[in-house]
Amino acid sequence: EIGEEAWTIGYPETDRLGDEAKYTKGEISALSGTSSEGGNIRTNDTRFYQITTPISHGNSGGPLFDESGNLIGVTSNGWTDLNNINYAIKSNFLQILLESFGLDNAAPKQNTLIGLKQKDQIKKVKPFVFMVLCYNNKNIEEELLRDSLTVYQEHNSVQQTKKPISSSDTILKVD
């Protein structure tokens, strides 16, 4: 709903703010957002929320929660020239993505944060939000792409025998 509280925890601007996880809170300001694919800007994109929750470089990929602690999205991007115009991918689209990879059980089915004070929700979530550093180096990028393709191929070849990811497994934040 528009006006619903939305909060996140992440690692913004670590070169200036340090590498401790930061909490920020705002609201959902629109039920659609703006995206860019192949250089084309798409407005009114219903895959996204527009949020006033402050995010900046380093928050991308972090969880977005409502006041009850429900995961409602994943922070993605914002406008650097506009104040508090940021976006998050809605969690229902992430669920579709997980299901498309056969990971139907990857997301928890029960909210264990309901009824907790927000400071206690943060304490419970914080250990599962990680900073992942990526360096803009073509050789490293090529190596990562090659490695990720190998992992993907290996995962697909053993998919039938590997146990599914459970709700207790950790999903990493990637910037």
Give the burial string for 76-110 (b: 16+ CB within 10 Å, else e): bbbeeeeeebbbbbbbeebeeebeeeeeeebeeee
Q: Where are the alpha helices (DSSP H) in the chain?
A: 14-17, 91-100, 118-125, 138-157
Of residues 56 and 133, more confidently modeled: 56
Give yes or no for a contact between 167 and 126, defined as CB atoms under 8 angstroms apart.
no
Report the pLDDT value the prediction gives residue 140, as an integer from 0 to 100.
Answer: 55
pTM, 2 dp? 0.72
Q: Tell me the pLDDT band of 7, cut-offs 50, 70 and 90.
A: very high
Encode pLDDT of 25-71 as tens digits: 999 999 988 877 777 777 888 889 999 999 888 888 889 999 999 99
Q: Is the pLDDT of residue 119 over 90?
A: yes
From CA 108, how far away is CA 165, in angstroms rounded?
A: 10
Residues pairing with 48 in the sheet: 89
Q: What is the largest CA-CA distance in the chain?
A: 49
Q: Is the pLDDT of residue 138 over 70?
A: no
